Structure 1
Amino acid sequence: MGGGRAAVFVTSGQRTSTTGLLAEAAARRGMEVRVLTDGQVLDGLVGRAVHWYGGPLAAGRIANVLGLGLLEPSDDWLARLPEEFTGRRIELTTLSEAWALRRPVFVKPPSAKSFPAAVYADGSRLPRTGEGVGPDTPALVSDVVTFAAEYRLFVLDRRVVAGSRYAVYGRLDTAPLDGDSREREVRRFAERLLASVGESLPSAVTVDVGLAQDPDTGHERWAVVEANMPWFSHSYTARVDAVLDVVLRAAGPRDQLSQGDVPFLHASPASGYI
């Protein structure tokens, strides 16, 4: 694929700070950078070696046309983790089941952004209508946990290559992982996690971890917040060139995927233009 031409870094039309940083880093590497705005742009990319950064809805429409291999963790990955890594009860269910809950819970979609990830007073507060929302919509339901600090880790071949703090007590508060006062603790927890369950993740992935606080005792412990696809993850203040390495692996030509990554291919039910 590509016929010897430069690889292309394609982004959606939605401009974010991460989009701009990654596009600049890709250009410095000699990649052609394109913004996918219409079908004409898409037609010109067919047969090229394309990498993607953007949302899953647009990605699902173009992946088959461009031969993209988009990696993401399985929907039930977090729910299957041992509690030593989650620090809380987590269940993968459906919105219809979650609607019946009568206690405060944190609920989020596993990967798609079909409804807001938030603490809900009970299941009746969850949305019942909207794009991608219905009784069978997957939902991750967990106990409500307070995180004193949360960090996004960009992982390549089971190794943390970049990271950033992104929140303190639930509020946006960014700082590079390198040099952070908790850097050693974060890296130690991540190493233990990846050594234990790394094979259950794609070779390129983002993993969010946080310092969880027990509401009764105040005891703190490190826990996994979630895992996501790098090609739709904010980089915050992580080193952009290392982030780009992860994104390029996670969203590139399907025919270049390793056999180990095939089970983690993002489902692309549709193909066509944006």
Structure 2
Amino acid sequence: MFLTSGQRTSTTVLLAEAAAGRGMEVRSLADAGALTASAEAAVHWYGGPLAADRIADALALGLLEPPDDWLAELPEEFTGRRVELTTLAEAWQARRPVFAKPPSDKSFPAAVYADGSRLPRTGEGVAPDTAVLLSDVVTFAVEYRLFVLDGRVAAGSRYAVYGRLDPAPLDGDVREPEVRRFADRLLAEERHSLPSAVTVDVGLVQDPDRGGRERWAVVEANMPWFSHSYAARVEGVLDVVLRAAGPRGRVTPEDERFLRAAPRVFG
């Protein structure tokens, strides 16, 4: 079964149609009885992490996601900038402009902040120990989303030009050879630091320290089961999503360390 959240996005619709085309039963959490029916099936998931956390145990879902510190641990030859994993409490002390984002969820907006004092405070839906990725502010001339399966790009799409949404298929893009060469080099060295199914965003950085020269760099890595497909080939995207969010019993030993942890319970 292919189960989706109740949020109807363009990616949800495309993936649901592709899954149905493969003969899979497709249900939405918005449908009456969807959870009851899903509890009796081998389920694959596409939707947000909050909804996933509510149903994962009941449906025995194995949700793969990259480690929070993956980007911070990458060599600078792949990041093109300084990146560190810290806590929100530490990030509040930053005295310079930074790009800040949660590693994998959407607990606060990913954005450039003038300094740490502009980041969300306790009481705004976050806690002081919330994980935060901080990086130098850089300009990405163009950005691409790559859906990766077993260390190879299964599908890809351009999604932004100078920070503005501008989707187009990777296949046939003028920069496709450059994107694939950079991805091949990255995945050859870092494949085993990522789950077998993952989304990796890459972009072309304009480096002022090098006279404005451009260099390829990783933007971030994310879970495919909550990634917009943009203009990527839907069949390839579905292959990656099915691996990244499926029955827990089918998760390979190599992928077990990338399983999403159960949410913390407060009270």
TM superposition score category, shorter chain reference: over 0.9
Aligned to 1:222: 216
Amino acid in structure 2 at the alignment position of 1:187: R
Aligned to 1:170: 163
Q: Secondary structure at the match of 1:179?
A: coil
Distance 1:201 1:176 in 2: 24
Amino acid in structure 2 at the alignment position of 1:87: G
Task: Decide whether the 8 Å contact of 1:109 with 1:115 is kept in 2.
Answer: yes
Question: 2:245 matched to 1:245?
Answer: no
Amino acid in structure 1 at the alignment position of 2:169: P
Q: Secondary structure at the match of 2:208?
A: coil
2:249 counterpart (231, 248, 255): 255
Q: Secondary structure at the match of 2:109?
A: coil
Aligned to 2:263: 269
Inter-CA distance 132–252: structure 2 relative to 1 (3 Å threshold): farther
Q: Secondary structure at the match of 2:230?
A: coil
Q: Secondary structure at the match of 1:220?
A: strand
Amino acid in structure 1 at the alignment position of 2:230: Y
Amino acid in structure 2 at the alignment position of 1:247: V
Distance 2:162 2:122 in 1: 30
Question: 2:7 matched to 1:29?
Answer: no
Distance 2:235 2:264 in 1: 31
Aligned to 1:54: 47
Gaps of 5+ in 1: 1-7
Aligned to 2:147: 154
Distance 2:260 2:15 in 1: 21
Greater CA drift, 207-216 or 130-139: 130-139
Question: 2:204 matched to 1:211?
Answer: yes
2:112 counterpart (119, 122, 143): 119
Deviations 1:106-163 (A, max 9, x none): 0000001000000000011101145651110000000001000000000000000100
Deviation at 1:232, TM superposition (A): 0.1
Question: 2:61 matched to 1:72?
Answer: no
Deviation at 1:37, TM superposition (A): 2.5
Deviation at 1:15, TM superposition (A): 0.7
Distance 1:112 1:146 in 2: 23
Q: Secondary structure at the match of 1:111?
A: coil
Deviation at 1:174, TM superposition (A): 0.7
Q: Secondary structure at the match of 2:237?
A: helix
Task: Decide whether the 8 Å contact of 2:72 with 2:133 is kept in 1.
Answer: yes
Q: How does 1:191-202 map to 2 (within 5 A)?
A: 191-202=184-195
Deviations 1:157-204 (A, max 9, x none): 000010000000000011100000100000000000000011000000
So what's the TM-score if we normalise by structure 2? 0.96
Aligned to 1:94: 87
Q: How many residues align?
A: 264
Aligned to 1:3: none
Deviation at 1:42, TM superposition (A): 1.0
Q: How does 1:101-116 map to 2 (within 5 A)?
A: 101-116=94-109
Question: Sequence identity, in percent?
Answer: 77
Task: Decide whether the 8 Å contact of 2:122 with 2:128 is kept in 1.
Answer: no
Aligned Cα RMSD in Å? Answer: 1.4
Deviations 1:214-240 (A, max 9, x none): 134201100000000000000000000
Distance 1:270 1:44 in 2: 27
Deviation at 1:41, TM superposition (A): 2.2
Deviation at 1:38, TM superposition (A): 6.9
So what's the TM-score if we normalise by structure 1? 0.94
Amino acid in structure 2 at the alignment position of 1:203: S
